[in-house]
């Protein structure tokens, strides 16, 4: 696993690989691509969450300032 929780990228089988090895590679690549997409989604969601928290904090501070006026 890498720092992002991804499995290692599958290694393409050689030119003399059997059909089973080729099918396994295809399945491994699909799993790798799915894991990569999940990591991207998690990073995006984390950014959205931080943005929402920053907006909430900003709005609360602005409301406190407005209440002091």
pLDDT of residue 7: 81
pLDDT of residue 20: 96
Rounded to whole angstroms, the Cα distance separating 21 from 17 reads 6
Tell me the pTM: 0.67
Q: Which pair of tokens denotes residue 57? A: 């904090």
pLDDT of residue 2: 45
Q: Can you give the pLDDT of all 69 residues of the chain as single tens digits?
A: 445 677 889 999 999 999 999 999 999 999 999 999 998 898 888 888 888 888 888 888 888 888 887
Which segments of 1-69 are extended strands (E)? none
Angle at CA of residue 38, ends 35 and 39, nearest 5°? 90
Q: Give the sign of the dihedral formed by CA 7, CA 25, CA 12, CA 42.
A: negative
**Helical ranges in 1-69 per DSSP H:** 19-68
């Amino acid at each position: 696993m890498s720092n992002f929780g991804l499995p290692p990228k599958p290694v393409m089988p050689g030119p003399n690989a059997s059909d089973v090895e080729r099918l396994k590679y295809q399945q491994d690549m699909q799993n790798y691509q799915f894991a990569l997409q999940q990591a991207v989604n998690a990073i995006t969601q984390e950014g959205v969450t931080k943005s929402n928290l920053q907006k909430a904090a900003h709005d609360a501070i602005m409301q406190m300032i407005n209440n002091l006026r």
